[in-house]
Amino acid sequence: MTVLVIHGGAGGDGPWRGLSDLDHERIECMKELLKSIGTRLEIGELSALEAVKLAVEWLEDEPLFNAGRGSVLDENQRVTMDASIMDGKDGRAGAAIGLQRVRHPIDVAFKLLEQEWPIMFHGSAADEFAFQQGCEMADQNWLATNLRQAQWSKWKQAALRPGTTDEDDMAALDHDLENEGHGTVGAVALDVHGNLAAATSTGGMTGKPAGRVGDTPIIGAGTWADHNVAVSCTGVGEAFIRTCAAHSLASNVNFLEMTLADAATSVMNAVEPFGGRGGLIAISKNGEVAMPYQTRLMYRGYYANGEGKVAIGPEDYGIE
């Protein structure tokens, strides 16, 4: 049995409002990805690690998601991207923080995983490592789309108005500012050999302070994979860091012997008091899937046994 699960971020408050115009493109993107990579995973052409890397690269290339091209802009109007990846087979991991010059942040994390030491690079050293390793480079003008520039301007204006520069506004997910929902991306996979892997990539949050690091590149917070569980999180990163969310989920399964669904719910309950609005995707070695979220929406989908589904709100859509 093989399973591929992806997410494209979670956000928004209040009841489901239906699909936006841009959501149709996101649905098509997720469907194509799941069918293409899910099928290759199924016939044993890809390992779990290769599948999550390729899935995240695919989502990084879709400008409607907040990762790679189309990442949101920080307070200085710059794209700064974080990513991490973990192989459950042997516990190898890689992570990159604050990348500004690469097309695929997950490729930088993957190259660190392959080298095994060091595990993390940040800032200009991470970009330089990417360049030295032959990762595809990109410039800020290409990474920052018109939509993201418009979102940043809206954020900036709102922040200048008295009373709007409160902490919640600064911590708001970009979805809340634009009401469109464009998120961090992630993938978890189970391959034909029974191995698991997880990967996550993000531009963070619109208007984040320069240098701010969320949960996405923190192994154990935004990303985790071991022999039994693989997890990728999305949401207000600080809460996922404070609760070691992804690793907590795995511990719930590994040591407390919870079902995957209970373990995932328990983590969502734990992040909530810290303001951790968001969601996560998780799979177990038995092929169970959990995709809980406590926001208005979460872009998500899975492919297993020749069939799959994608969803944003309560309705789901089959993959032919």
CA–CA separation, 204 and 11 (whole Å): 13
The whole-angstrom separation of Cα 98 and Cα 55 is 21
Q: Given the DSSP bridges, would you call strands 223-225 and 229-235 parallel, antiparallel or unpaired?
A: antiparallel
Tokens of 229: 């569980």
Instruction: Report the alpha-carbon distance of residue 123 to residue 125 in Å, rounded.
Output: 5
Tokens of 193: 């050999």
Q: Which of 132, 25, 126, 144 is nearest to 76 (CA)?
A: 144
Count of H-run helices and E-run strands, the chain: 11, 13
Nearest residue to the partner ligand ASP, using Cβ? 237
Among 3, 49, 187, 205, binds ligand ASP (CB under 6 A): 205
Catalytic residue among 2, 80, 145, 184: 184
Closest CB 202 distance from ligand ASP, rounded Å: 5
Task: Look up residue 312 and give its amino acid.
Answer: I
In the complex, minimum distance from the CB of residue 66 to ligand ASP, in angstroms, rounded to a whole number: 6
- CA atoms of 213 and 204, how far apart (whole Å): 8
From 37-45, 190-198, 201-209, 296-304, give the range in contact with ligand ASP by CB under 6 A.
201-209
Binding mask 103-132 for ligand ASP (x = CB under 6 A): ------------------------------
Q: Could you say which of 216, 223, 243, 251 contacts ligand ASP (CB under 6 A)? A: 216
Confirm or reject binding of residue 281 to ligand ASP (CB under 6 A): no
Q: Is 224 helix (H, G, I), strand (E, B) or coil?
A: strand
Q: Is 202 in the site for ligand ASP (CB under 6 A)?
A: yes
CA distance 234 to 10: 6
User: For residue 289, what are the CA distances in angstroms to 3, 56, 134, 260?
Assistant: 8, 18, 35, 7
Decide if 39 is catalytic: no
Interface pattern 157-196 for ligand ASP (x via CB under 6 A): ----------------x---------xx------------
> Of the two residues 207 and 235, which places its CB atom closer to ligand ASP in the complex?
235
Q: Is 248 in the site for ligand ASP (CB under 6 A)?
A: no
Closest approach of Cβ 236 to ligand ASP, in Å?
A: 6
Residue 9 binds ligand ASP, judged by CB under 6 A: yes
Should residue 68 be labelled a site residue for ligand ASP when binding is judged by CB under 6 A?
no
| Contacting residues toward ligand ASP, per CB under 6 A | 9, 173, 183-184, 202, 204-205, 214-216, 234-235, 237, 278
